[in-house]
Chains A and B, each alone.
Chain A
Amino acid sequence: MEFIKPGTYIDFMKYRGPVITVLGIIATLSLVSLFYPGPNYGIDFAGGTEVQLLFKGDTSPAEVRKALQDSGYARPDVISVEDQPNEYIIRVQEVSSLPDAQVEKIRTSVATALGDGVLQEMKVSPGGDKITLRVSGPVNEQQLQEALMTGGANVRSINALTGSRDPRYEAQLVGVADELMTQLQRRFGERAPASALRVEWVGPKAGQQLRDAAIQSLLYAIAFIMLYVAFRFDLRFAPGGVIAMLHDALITLGIYVLLQKEVNLTTVAALLTIMGYSINDTIVVFDRIRENMVRVRDKSLRELINISTSQMLSRTLVTSLTTLLSVSAFFFLGTGVIQDIAFALGIGILIGTLSSIFIAAPITEFMDRRLFSRSRG
Chain B
Amino acid sequence: MDRGWYFRLAIVVGSSVLGFLALWPSVDRWLPCPDVVKEVFDNQINPGLDIKGGLRLMYEVEVDEYIRDRRDRIAEQVQRQCGVLIGVVPEEEIDDIDRAKLDEIRQRCKVERVDKEGGAVRAIRMTFSNQEDARKLSKSWVKDYFRDLRVASGVGDLVVDLHMREEQLANMRETAVRQSERTITNRIDTMGVLEPTVIARPNDGDIIIEIPGAQESSFERIKSIISRTAQLSFKIVDDESDSRSIFTSPPEGIYLNQGAQTFAEAFGEDARDSLRTYIATLAVPDDHELSIGRQEPDPERGGEGWRTYYMYRVADATGEDLDDASVGFDPQSGSPEVDFTMNSRGASRMADLTGRNIGKRMAIVLDDRVESAPVIQGQIGGRGRITLGAYQDRNELLQEAKDLVVVLQAGALPAPLRPANEQLIGPTLGQDSVRKGAVAALVGVILVVVFMALYYQVAGLVADAMVLLNLQLLLGVMSGIGATLTLPGVAAIALTVGMAVDANVLITERIREELRLGKSPRSAVEQGYARAYSSVFDSQLTTAIAGVVLWQFGTGPIKGFATMLLIGIGTSLFTGTFCSKVLFDWLVRGMRVQRLRVG
Contact status of A82 and B535, CB under 8 A, knowing A62-B432, A272-B550, A318-B505? no
Task: Judge whether B208 and A202 touch: CB under 8 Å.
Answer: yes
Does B330 make an interface contact (CB < 8 A)? no
Does A210 make an interface contact (CB < 8 A)? yes
Q: How far is the CB of A75 from chain B (nearest CB, A)?
A: 10
CA gap between A287 and B181 in the complex, in Å: 44
Q: How far is the CB of A352 from chain B (nearest CB, A)?
A: 11
Q: Which residue of B56, B430, B555 contacts A61 across the interface (Cβ within 8 Å)?
A: B430
CA gap between A284 and B543 in the complex, in Å: 12
Does B99 make an interface contact (CB < 8 A)? no
Task: Judge whether A338 and B558 touch: CB under 8 Å.
Answer: no
Q: Which residue of B431, B447, B531, B556 contacts A210 across the interface (Cβ within 8 Å)?
A: B556
Q: Which residues of B contact A126 (CB under 8 A)?
A: 203
Within 8 A of A (CB), among B482-521: 487-488, 491-492, 494-495, 497-499, 501-502, 505-506, 509, 512-513, 516
Does A229 make an interface contact (CB < 8 A)? yes
Interface residues on A, range: 35 or more
Does B192 make an interface contact (CB < 8 A)? no
Task: Judge whether A330 and B549 touch: CB under 8 Å.
Answer: no
Q: How far is the CB of A71 from chain B (nearest CB, A)?
A: 17
Task: Judge whether A315 and B425 touch: CB under 8 Å.
Answer: no
Nearest CB in chain B to that of A270: its residue: B488
Nearest CB in chain B to that of A334: its residue: B440
Contact status of A326 and B549, CB under 8 A, knowing A79-B425, A209-B555, A210-B556? no
Task: Judge whether A82 and B424 touch: CB under 8 Å.
Answer: yes
Q: Which residue of B169, B454, B509, B549 contacts A217 across the interface (Cβ within 8 Å)?
A: B549
Does B120 make an interface contact (CB < 8 A)? yes
Q: Which residues of A contact B452 (CB under 8 A)?
A: 322
Task: Judge whether B440 and A329 touch: CB under 8 Å.
Answer: yes
CA gap between A216 and B499 in the complex, in Å: 27
Does B185 make an interface contact (CB < 8 A)? yes
Does A37 make an interface contact (CB < 8 A)? no
Q: Which residues of B contact A286 (CB under 8 A)?
A: 538
Q: Which residues of A contact B433 (CB under 8 A)?
A: 334-338
Q: Which residues of A contact B208 (CB under 8 A)?
A: 202
Task: Judge whether A207 and B181 touch: CB under 8 Å.
Answer: yes
Within 8 A of B (CB), among A127-178: 130, 132, 134, 163, 165-167
Q: Which residue of A84, A283, A311, A326 contacts B495 across the interface (Cβ within 8 Å)?
A: A326
CA gap between A203 and B181 in the complex, in Å: 12
Task: Judge whether B553 and A213 touch: CB under 8 Å.
Answer: yes
Q: How far is the CB of A308 from chain B (nearest CB, A)?
A: 11
Q: Which residues of B contact A89 (CB under 8 A)?
A: 56, 425
Scoring A62, A324, A325 by chain B CB atoms within 10 A of each residue's CB, the highest score goes to A325
Q: How far is the CB of A230 from chain B (nearest CB, A)?
A: 12
Contact status of A323 and B495, CB under 8 A, knowing A213-B553, A214-B558, A315-B505? yes
Task: Judge whether A330 and B491 touch: CB under 8 Å.
Answer: yes
Scoring B425, B451, B455, B542 by chain A CB atoms within 10 A of each residue's CB, the highest score goes to B542
Task: Judge whether B120 and A334 touch: CB under 8 Å.
Answer: no
Q: Which residue of B63, B425, B440, B561 contacts A80 across the interface (Cβ within 8 Å)?
A: B425
Nearest CB in chain B to that of A318: its residue: B505
Task: Judge whether B425 and A82 touch: CB under 8 Å.
Answer: yes
Nearest CB in chain B to that of A329: its residue: B444
Task: Judge whether A319 and B502 touch: CB under 8 Å.
Answer: yes
Q: How far is the CB of A64 from chain B (nearest CB, A)?
A: 10
Q: Which residues of B contact A342 (CB under 8 A)?
A: 491
Does A77 make an interface contact (CB < 8 A)? yes
Contact status of A319 and B501, CB under 8 A, knowing A1-B454, A201-B201, A217-B549? yes
Task: Judge whether A283 and B451 touch: CB under 8 Å.
Answer: no
Q: How far is the CB of B507 from chain A (nearest CB, A)?
A: 10
Does A192 make an interface contact (CB < 8 A)? no
Task: Judge whether B555 and A327 touch: CB under 8 Å.
Answer: no
CA gap between A373 and B265 in the complex, in Å: 85
Q: Which residues of A contact B63 (CB under 8 A)?
A: 166
Contact status of A338 and B557, CB under 8 A, knowing A82-B425, A207-B181? no
Contact status of A132 and B546, CB under 8 A, knowing A2-B599, A61-B430, A318-B455? no
Does B151 make an interface contact (CB < 8 A)? no
Does A208 make an interface contact (CB < 8 A)? yes
Within 8 A of A (CB), among B190-222: 197-201, 203-205, 208
Contact status of A272 and B561, CB under 8 A, knowing A221-B546, A322-B451, A329-B447? yes
Q: How far is the CB of B105 from chain A (nearest CB, A)?
A: 32
Does B540 make an interface contact (CB < 8 A)? yes
Contact status of A319 and B554, CB under 8 A, knowing A166-B120, A221-B549, A335-B432? no
Task: Judge whether B53 and A79 touch: CB under 8 Å.
Answer: yes
Q: How far is the CB of B557 from chain A (nearest CB, A)?
A: 5
Q: Which residue of B64, B201, B441, B538 contacts A330 across the interface (Cβ within 8 Å)?
A: B441
Q: Which residues of B contact A209 (CB under 8 A)?
A: 178, 181-182, 185, 555
Q: Which residues of B contact A121 (CB under 8 A)?
A: 166, 169-170
CA gap between A225 and B425 in the complex, in Å: 41
Task: Judge whether A326 and B444 touch: CB under 8 Å.
Answer: yes
Scoring B178, B205, B506 by chain A CB atoms within 10 A of each residue's CB, the highest score goes to B506
Q: Which residue of A6, A81, A123, A322 contacts B423 across the interface (Cβ within 8 Å)?
A: A81
Within 8 A of B (CB), among A195-214: 200-210, 213-214
Task: Judge whether A224 and B546 touch: CB under 8 Å.
Answer: yes
Contact status of A134 and B120, CB under 8 A, knowing A1-B599, A213-B555, A280-B543? yes
Task: Judge whether A205 and B199 touch: CB under 8 Å.
Answer: yes
Within 8 A of B (CB), among A300-329: 311, 314-315, 318-319, 321-329
11 new A-B contacts, CB < 8 A, other than A1-B454, A324-B498, A337-B488, are A1-B456, A79-B426, A123-B203, A165-B118, A167-B118, A217-B552, A221-B545, A276-B547, A283-B542, A322-B505, A328-B447
17 A-B residue pairs with Cβ-Cβ distance under 8 Å, sorted by A, are A123-B203, A207-B181, A217-B553, A220-B549, A225-B546, A272-B561, A276-B547, A284-B535, A287-B534, A318-B455, A319-B501, A322-B498, A326-B494, A330-B494, A334-B433, A335-B436, A338-B433
Identify the 4 closest CB pairs spanning chains A and B, nearest first.
A80-B426, A326-B444, A329-B444, A217-B553
